[in-house]
Structure 1
Amino acid sequence: MKTLILYHSKTGFTAQYAQWLAQDLSCACVPYKSRKAISLDTFDAIAFGSGLRAGIIPGAKWFFSQVPKLEGKRLALFFTGAMPPDPAGIERAVQQNVPPEARERVPVFYLWGGLHYEKMGFVDKAMMAAFRKMLSAKKNPTPEDQEAIRMVASSFSKAERENLRELEAYLRVGR
Protein backbone atom coordinates (compact mmCIF):
# COMPACT_ATOMS: atom_id res chain seq x y z
CA MET A 1 0.00 0.00 0.00
CA LYS A 2 1.48 3.32 -1.09
CA THR A 3 1.04 5.99 1.60
CA LEU A 4 1.51 9.77 1.52
CA ILE A 5 1.94 12.09 4.48
CA LEU A 6 1.16 15.63 3.34
CA TYR A 7 1.67 18.38 5.90
CA HIS A 8 1.52 22.12 6.59
CA SER A 9 3.76 23.28 9.43
CA LYS A 10 4.27 26.75 10.87
CA THR A 11 6.42 26.16 13.95
CA GLY A 12 7.69 22.63 13.34
CA PHE A 13 5.45 20.34 15.39
CA THR A 14 3.41 19.08 12.44
CA ALA A 15 6.59 18.62 10.38
CA GLN A 16 8.11 16.56 13.21
CA TYR A 17 5.06 14.31 13.43
CA ALA A 18 4.91 13.99 9.62
CA GLN A 19 8.57 12.96 9.46
CA TRP A 20 8.11 10.41 12.25
CA LEU A 21 5.09 8.98 10.43
CA ALA A 22 7.03 8.74 7.18
CA GLN A 23 9.91 6.97 8.94
CA ASP A 24 7.66 4.56 10.82
CA LEU A 25 5.53 3.75 7.77
CA SER A 26 8.37 3.95 5.19
CA CYS A 27 6.32 6.28 3.03
CA ALA A 28 6.42 9.59 1.18
CA CYS A 29 6.33 12.84 3.17
CA VAL A 30 5.61 16.06 1.28
CA PRO A 31 5.17 19.63 2.55
CA TYR A 32 1.88 21.33 1.64
CA LYS A 33 3.65 23.96 -0.45
CA SER A 34 4.86 21.15 -2.77
CA ARG A 35 1.43 19.49 -3.13
CA LYS A 36 1.09 20.46 -6.81
CA ALA A 37 4.18 18.39 -7.66
CA ILE A 38 2.49 15.13 -6.67
CA SER A 39 -0.47 13.17 -7.96
CA LEU A 40 -2.73 12.16 -5.08
CA ASP A 41 -4.43 9.45 -7.11
CA THR A 42 -1.20 7.41 -7.16
CA PHE A 43 -1.47 6.77 -3.40
CA ASP A 44 -3.63 4.24 -1.56
CA ALA A 45 -3.59 6.13 1.74
CA ILE A 46 -3.20 9.86 2.37
CA ALA A 47 -2.86 11.60 5.73
CA PHE A 48 -2.97 15.39 5.79
CA GLY A 49 -1.58 17.18 8.82
CA SER A 50 -1.51 20.79 9.96
CA GLY A 51 -1.45 22.86 13.12
CA LEU A 52 -4.47 24.46 14.75
CA ARG A 53 -4.20 28.26 14.71
CA ALA A 54 -6.97 30.36 16.23
CA GLY A 55 -9.45 27.56 15.59
CA ILE A 56 -8.44 27.07 11.94
CA ILE A 57 -6.51 24.13 10.46
CA PRO A 58 -4.56 25.68 7.55
CA GLY A 59 -4.84 23.61 4.38
CA ALA A 60 -7.85 21.61 5.60
CA LYS A 61 -10.24 23.32 3.15
CA TRP A 62 -7.99 22.32 0.26
CA PHE A 63 -7.64 18.75 1.59
CA PHE A 64 -11.40 18.31 1.93
CA SER A 65 -11.92 19.72 -1.56
CA GLN A 66 -9.83 16.77 -2.79
CA VAL A 67 -11.78 14.09 -0.90
CA PRO A 68 -14.47 13.53 -3.59
CA LYS A 69 -11.70 12.76 -6.10
CA LEU A 70 -10.11 10.21 -3.76
CA GLU A 71 -12.85 7.59 -3.62
CA GLY A 72 -11.51 4.26 -2.41
CA LYS A 73 -8.44 5.82 -0.75
CA ARG A 74 -7.74 5.54 2.97
CA LEU A 75 -7.76 9.14 4.23
CA ALA A 76 -6.97 10.81 7.55
CA LEU A 77 -6.58 14.30 8.96
CA PHE A 78 -4.23 14.97 11.85
CA PHE A 79 -3.71 18.28 13.54
CA THR A 80 -1.37 19.55 16.20
CA GLY A 81 -1.80 22.22 18.81
CA ALA A 82 -0.63 23.61 22.11
CA MET A 83 -3.70 22.48 24.03
CA PRO A 84 -3.67 19.22 26.00
CA PRO A 85 -5.82 16.54 24.36
CA ASP A 86 -9.35 17.55 25.36
CA PRO A 87 -12.34 15.85 23.69
CA ALA A 88 -14.49 19.01 23.78
CA GLY A 89 -11.75 21.18 22.26
CA ILE A 90 -10.97 18.58 19.60
CA GLU A 91 -14.67 18.30 18.72
CA ARG A 92 -14.90 22.12 18.34
CA ALA A 93 -11.94 22.04 15.94
CA VAL A 94 -13.56 19.20 13.96
CA GLN A 95 -16.88 21.07 13.77
CA GLN A 96 -15.09 24.20 12.47
CA ASN A 97 -12.76 22.51 9.99
CA VAL A 98 -14.24 19.23 8.77
CA PRO A 99 -17.26 19.41 6.45
CA PRO A 100 -20.21 17.35 7.74
CA GLU A 101 -20.16 15.10 4.67
CA ALA A 102 -16.51 14.16 5.34
CA ARG A 103 -16.76 13.40 9.07
CA GLU A 104 -17.53 9.70 8.66
CA ARG A 105 -15.19 9.22 5.70
CA VAL A 106 -12.09 10.93 7.14
CA PRO A 107 -11.04 10.13 10.71
CA VAL A 108 -9.41 12.97 12.63
CA PHE A 109 -6.46 12.61 15.02
CA TYR A 110 -5.19 15.24 17.45
CA LEU A 111 -1.47 15.19 18.25
CA TRP A 112 -0.30 17.37 21.12
CA GLY A 113 2.48 19.62 19.85
CA GLY A 114 3.40 22.68 21.86
CA LEU A 115 4.52 26.27 21.37
CA HIS A 116 7.68 27.58 19.72
CA TYR A 117 7.61 31.33 20.28
CA GLU A 118 10.99 31.66 18.56
CA LYS A 119 9.47 30.30 15.32
CA MET A 120 6.36 32.50 15.42
CA GLY A 121 5.89 35.69 13.48
CA PHE A 122 4.84 39.00 15.00
CA VAL A 123 1.09 38.45 14.49
CA ASP A 124 1.12 35.02 16.14
CA LYS A 125 3.16 36.32 19.08
CA ALA A 126 0.76 39.26 19.47
CA MET A 127 -2.24 36.89 19.42
CA MET A 128 -0.66 34.74 22.13
CA ALA A 129 0.14 37.82 24.23
CA ALA A 130 -3.49 38.97 23.94
CA PHE A 131 -4.68 35.48 24.91
CA ARG A 132 -2.41 35.46 27.98
CA LYS A 133 -3.60 38.94 28.95
CA MET A 134 -7.25 37.95 28.54
CA LEU A 135 -6.79 34.87 30.74
CA SER A 136 -4.80 36.81 33.35
CA ALA A 137 -7.49 39.51 33.53
CA LYS A 138 -10.21 37.08 34.61
CA LYS A 139 -11.46 37.88 38.11
CA ASN A 140 -12.04 34.24 39.06
CA PRO A 141 -9.89 32.09 36.78
CA THR A 142 -10.75 28.40 36.70
CA PRO A 143 -8.04 25.79 37.30
CA GLU A 144 -8.06 25.26 33.51
CA ASP A 145 -7.47 29.00 32.95
CA GLN A 146 -4.57 28.95 35.42
CA GLU A 147 -3.06 25.93 33.67
CA ALA A 148 -3.45 27.63 30.27
CA ILE A 149 -1.71 30.78 31.58
CA ARG A 150 1.17 28.66 32.87
CA MET A 151 1.46 26.67 29.64
CA VAL A 152 1.50 29.62 27.24
CA ALA A 153 4.00 31.61 29.31
CA SER A 154 6.93 30.15 27.36
CA SER A 155 7.85 27.72 24.60
CA PHE A 156 7.30 24.03 25.29
CA SER A 157 7.03 20.73 23.45
CA LYS A 158 4.74 17.80 24.15
CA ALA A 159 5.49 16.13 20.80
CA GLU A 160 6.21 12.45 21.35
CA ARG A 161 6.43 9.67 18.83
CA GLU A 162 4.15 7.60 21.05
CA ASN A 163 1.29 10.03 20.24
CA LEU A 164 1.25 8.59 16.70
CA ARG A 165 0.21 5.04 17.66
CA GLU A 166 -3.49 5.34 16.83
CA LEU A 167 -2.90 7.17 13.54
CA GLU A 168 -0.18 4.72 12.51
CA ALA A 169 -2.43 1.75 13.29
CA TYR A 170 -5.16 3.27 11.13
CA LEU A 171 -2.79 3.93 8.22
CA ARG A 172 -1.26 0.43 8.44
CA VAL A 173 -4.59 -1.31 7.78
CA GLY A 174 -4.43 -2.84 4.33
CA ARG A 175 -0.65 -2.76 4.15
Structure 2
Amino acid sequence: MKGIIIYKGKYGATRQYALWLGEMLHIPFITAGDETKPQLEDADYIIMGTSIYIGKLQLRKWLKTHQEVLVNKRLFLFLVAGTPPSEQEKLQGYIEANIGIEIRNCCSFFFLPGKLEFSKLSLIDKLLLKIGSRLSKSKGEVISVTDYNNVTKEALLPMLEAISKKEGAVI
Protein backbone atom coordinates (compact mmCIF):
# COMPACT_ATOMS: atom_id res chain seq x y z
CA MET A 1 0.00 0.00 0.00
CA LYS A 2 1.28 3.43 -0.94
CA GLY A 3 0.82 6.34 1.38
CA ILE A 4 1.70 10.00 1.53
CA ILE A 5 1.66 12.66 4.23
CA ILE A 6 0.48 16.17 3.43
CA TYR A 7 0.81 18.77 6.16
CA LYS A 8 0.53 22.46 6.89
CA GLY A 9 1.44 24.14 10.13
CA LYS A 10 2.58 27.45 11.47
CA TYR A 11 5.33 27.04 14.08
CA GLY A 12 6.83 23.56 13.67
CA ALA A 13 4.82 21.05 15.73
CA THR A 14 2.80 19.77 12.75
CA ARG A 15 5.96 19.41 10.67
CA GLN A 16 7.63 17.45 13.49
CA TYR A 17 4.74 14.99 13.65
CA ALA A 18 4.78 14.64 9.83
CA LEU A 19 8.53 13.97 9.89
CA TRP A 20 8.19 11.28 12.57
CA LEU A 21 5.28 9.64 10.74
CA GLY A 22 7.19 9.68 7.47
CA GLU A 23 10.17 8.00 9.13
CA MET A 24 8.05 5.40 10.93
CA LEU A 25 5.91 4.51 7.91
CA HIS A 26 8.63 5.00 5.27
CA ILE A 27 6.45 7.32 3.21
CA PRO A 28 7.05 10.84 1.94
CA PHE A 29 5.88 13.90 3.84
CA ILE A 30 5.20 17.01 1.82
CA THR A 31 4.11 20.54 2.67
CA ALA A 32 0.58 21.17 1.37
CA GLY A 33 0.80 22.82 -2.03
CA ASP A 34 4.11 21.17 -2.94
CA GLU A 35 2.54 17.80 -3.81
CA THR A 36 1.77 16.77 -7.37
CA LYS A 37 -1.54 15.50 -8.66
CA PRO A 38 -0.01 12.08 -9.53
CA GLN A 39 1.33 11.74 -5.97
CA LEU A 40 -2.20 12.15 -4.60
CA GLU A 41 -3.82 9.94 -7.23
CA ASP A 42 -1.26 7.14 -6.78
CA ALA A 43 -1.58 7.04 -2.99
CA ASP A 44 -3.81 4.34 -1.50
CA TYR A 45 -4.04 6.31 1.72
CA ILE A 46 -3.32 9.90 2.67
CA ILE A 47 -2.31 11.17 6.08
CA MET A 48 -2.96 14.86 6.49
CA GLY A 49 -1.70 17.07 9.28
CA THR A 50 -2.76 20.56 10.22
CA SER A 51 -2.34 23.03 12.99
CA ILE A 52 -5.33 24.93 14.30
CA TYR A 53 -5.02 28.70 14.31
CA ILE A 54 -7.80 30.76 15.90
CA GLY A 55 -10.24 27.89 15.38
CA LYS A 56 -9.33 27.37 11.73
CA LEU A 57 -7.40 24.52 10.20
CA GLN A 58 -4.33 25.64 8.28
CA LEU A 59 -5.17 22.89 5.78
CA ARG A 60 -8.83 23.83 5.25
CA LYS A 61 -8.43 25.46 1.80
CA TRP A 62 -6.25 22.59 0.62
CA LEU A 63 -8.91 20.10 1.75
CA LYS A 64 -11.58 21.91 -0.27
CA THR A 65 -9.37 22.19 -3.34
CA HIS A 66 -8.51 18.47 -3.33
CA GLN A 67 -11.83 17.09 -2.12
CA GLU A 68 -12.55 15.22 -5.36
CA VAL A 69 -9.37 13.13 -5.05
CA LEU A 70 -9.60 12.75 -1.27
CA VAL A 71 -13.08 11.23 -1.04
CA ASN A 72 -11.86 8.14 -2.91
CA LYS A 73 -8.95 7.47 -0.51
CA ARG A 74 -8.39 6.17 2.97
CA LEU A 75 -7.87 9.33 4.97
CA PHE A 76 -6.27 10.06 8.30
CA LEU A 77 -6.13 13.61 9.65
CA PHE A 78 -4.15 14.75 12.65
CA LEU A 79 -4.94 18.13 14.15
CA VAL A 80 -2.34 19.85 16.29
CA ALA A 81 -3.60 22.29 18.90
CA GLY A 82 -3.03 23.77 22.29
CA THR A 83 -6.61 22.88 23.20
CA PRO A 84 -6.51 20.29 26.00
CA PRO A 85 -7.81 16.77 25.17
CA SER A 86 -10.44 17.19 27.91
CA GLU A 87 -12.21 19.79 25.76
CA GLN A 88 -13.65 17.22 23.34
CA GLU A 89 -16.63 19.35 22.34
CA LYS A 90 -14.35 22.21 21.30
CA LEU A 91 -12.03 19.84 19.41
CA GLN A 92 -14.95 18.24 17.55
CA GLY A 93 -16.18 21.74 16.73
CA TYR A 94 -12.95 22.41 14.82
CA ILE A 95 -13.71 19.44 12.56
CA GLU A 96 -17.34 20.37 11.95
CA ALA A 97 -16.53 24.04 11.26
CA ASN A 98 -13.65 23.36 8.87
CA ILE A 99 -14.23 20.09 7.04
CA GLY A 100 -17.03 19.22 4.67
CA ILE A 101 -19.25 16.23 5.38
CA GLU A 102 -17.90 14.32 2.36
CA ILE A 103 -14.39 14.23 3.80
CA ARG A 104 -15.57 13.81 7.41
CA ASN A 105 -17.39 10.63 6.40
CA CYS A 106 -14.27 8.92 5.02
CA CYS A 107 -11.65 10.20 7.44
CA SER A 108 -10.24 9.13 10.81
CA PHE A 109 -9.33 12.05 13.09
CA PHE A 110 -6.61 12.36 15.71
CA PHE A 111 -5.95 15.31 18.00
CA LEU A 112 -2.30 15.74 18.89
CA PRO A 113 -0.85 18.06 21.52
CA GLY A 114 1.02 21.10 20.31
CA LYS A 115 3.55 23.52 21.64
CA LEU A 116 3.91 27.21 22.32
CA GLU A 117 7.15 29.14 22.14
CA PHE A 118 5.91 32.65 22.80
CA SER A 119 9.18 34.32 21.76
CA LYS A 120 8.94 32.73 18.29
CA LEU A 121 5.43 34.02 17.56
CA SER A 122 4.93 36.88 15.15
CA LEU A 123 3.98 40.19 16.73
CA ILE A 124 0.38 39.86 15.54
CA ASP A 125 0.14 36.29 16.89
CA LYS A 126 1.48 37.42 20.28
CA LEU A 127 -1.13 40.15 20.39
CA LEU A 128 -3.97 37.83 19.31
CA LEU A 129 -2.93 35.22 21.88
CA LYS A 130 -2.89 37.76 24.70
CA ILE A 131 -6.29 39.15 23.68
CA GLY A 132 -7.73 35.63 23.33
CA SER A 133 -6.38 34.68 26.74
CA ARG A 134 -8.05 37.67 28.38
CA LEU A 135 -11.35 37.09 26.59
CA SER A 136 -11.36 33.39 27.47
CA LYS A 137 -11.13 34.15 31.19
CA SER A 138 -14.58 35.78 31.04
CA LYS A 139 -15.94 32.49 29.64
CA GLY A 140 -14.23 30.41 32.31
CA GLU A 141 -11.69 29.03 29.83
CA VAL A 142 -7.93 29.17 30.03
CA ILE A 143 -5.66 29.91 27.09
CA SER A 144 -2.00 29.62 27.99
CA VAL A 145 0.50 32.32 27.09
CA THR A 146 3.27 30.40 28.84
CA ASP A 147 5.69 28.26 26.85
CA TYR A 148 5.00 24.54 26.70
CA ASN A 149 5.97 21.65 24.42
CA ASN A 150 3.78 18.55 24.49
CA VAL A 151 4.93 17.23 21.10
CA THR A 152 6.03 13.59 21.54
CA LYS A 153 6.33 10.50 19.36
CA GLU A 154 4.12 8.65 21.84
CA ALA A 155 1.20 10.90 20.88
CA LEU A 156 1.28 9.23 17.43
CA LEU A 157 0.68 5.70 18.72
CA PRO A 158 -3.14 5.64 18.44
CA MET A 159 -2.94 6.94 14.88
CA LEU A 160 -0.21 4.47 13.91
CA GLU A 161 -2.33 1.64 15.29
CA ALA A 162 -5.37 2.80 13.31
CA ILE A 163 -3.34 3.12 10.11
CA SER A 164 -1.84 -0.35 10.49
CA LYS A 165 -5.28 -1.90 11.09
CA LYS A 166 -6.85 -0.22 8.06
CA GLU A 167 -3.89 -0.88 5.81
CA GLY A 168 -3.26 -4.43 6.99
CA ALA A 169 0.35 -3.52 7.61
CA VAL A 170 2.54 -4.16 10.60
CA ILE A 171 4.32 -1.06 11.81
How far, CA to CA, are the matches of 2:70 and 2:145 in structure 1? 42
How far, CA to CA, are the matches of 1:68 and 1:162 in structure 2? 33
Greater Cα offset, 46-55 or 29-38 = 29-38
- Structure 1 residue ranges without an equivalent (≥5): none
Give me the CA root mean square deviation.
2.0
1:13 matched to which residue of 2?
Answer: 13
The answer on 1:81 being equivalent to 2:81 is yes
TM-score (norm 1): 0.85
How far 1:9 moved relative to its partner?
A: 1.7
Q: Deviations over 1:34-86 (max 9, x none)?
A: 23486211211111111000110012232243232245421122110111112
- Structure 2 residue ranges without an equivalent (≥5): none
How far 1:88 moved relative to its partner?
A: 0.6
2:159 matched to which residue of 1?
Answer: 167
Count of aligned residue pairs for this structure pair: 166
2:126 matched to which residue of 1?
Answer: 125
**Given that residues 61 and 97 in structure 1 are in contact (C-alpha distance below 8 angstroms), is that contact kept between their aligned partners in structure 2?**
no
Identity of paired residues, percent? Answer: 25
How far, CA to CA, are the matches of 2:66 and 2:136 in structure 1? 38
Q: Secondary structure at the match of 2:11?
A: coil
Change (3 A) 1:82 1:38: farther
How far, CA to CA, are the matches of 1:81 and 1:21 in structure 2? 17
TM-score (norm 2): 0.86
**Given that residues 7 and 14 in structure 1 are in contact (C-alpha distance below 8 angstroms), is that contact kept between their aligned partners in structure 2?**
yes
How far, CA to CA, are the matches of 2:129 and 2:6 in structure 1? 27
